Amino acid sequence: MNIAILASGNGSNFEAIVKAAKRGYIKAFIKVLITDKSNAYVRQRAKRNKIKDILIDPSKFKSRLEFDEEVIKVLEKEKIDLVVLAGFMRILSAKFVKRFKNRILNIHPALLPAFKGENAIRRALQHNCKVTGVTVHFVDEKVDNGPIILQQAIEIKRGETLERLEERIHNLEHKLYPLAVKLFTERRIKIKNRNVEIEPL
């Protein structure tokens, strides 16, 4: 199975998934990184790991749809089976989602449907939530809305700083996301409407 990872920033989840594939935990080929930012640190991670890095500059396209159509072309050329969003800071068009229906994964630093969108960790802290967590889900046409594959909660400690909570959330992401990718590549995820079932080994 061929995997493409789309990322815009630091790329720590990219690194976690690549390492999981290298050690055989994920039995699939991380074929390409696609990014929309020339200075994204994730590109250095791709270079170190000898993974093809393709920059697609949004400023060269008239619309979001045209940009997405170019990404789709690359994914089809690379024969991609699974698209993994790892801090890709763009909302995908309906055409993109339809083309790769139930084959696009995203990770969100909250227990969806709570705190959709940006700054989810900060907002959970500001709301004095007792727990927050991480969600891995399929992508649909709405933001942070697709069927949930995996969720794990963590307790927010009294007096915890944003920086410490972010660190703990990211550490959890680096465990949960490779697991979700592993389950997908082993064809153990079954989906019907919004119901996701994971087949045991």
Structural domain count, the chain:
1
Query: Which tens digits make up the pLDDT trace of 128-177?
Result: 999 999 999 999 999 999 999 999 999 999 999 999 999 999 999 999 99
Query: Which tens digits make up the pLDDT trace of 25-55?
Result: 999 999 999 999 999 999 999 999 999 999 9
Q: What are phi and psi of 164, to 5 degrees?
A: -70, -40
| Average pLDDT, integer, range 174-195 | 96
- Host domain of residue 52: 2-198
Residue 193 binned pLDDT confidence (cut-offs 50, 70, 90)? confident
Q: Looking at beta carbons, which pairs linking 95-100 to residues 24 or more positions away fall under 8 Å?
A: 95/65, 95/68, 95/69, 96/68, 96/71, 96/72, 97/139, 97/140, 97/141, 99/72, 100/75
CATH number, domain of 170, equals 3.40.50.170
Model pTM score? 0.96
Question: Which residues are known catalytic residues?
Answer: 108
pLDDT over 70 percentage in the chain? 100
> For residue 80, which amino acid is it?
I
What is the rounded distance in angstroms from the CA atom of residue 37 to the CA atom of residue 159?
36
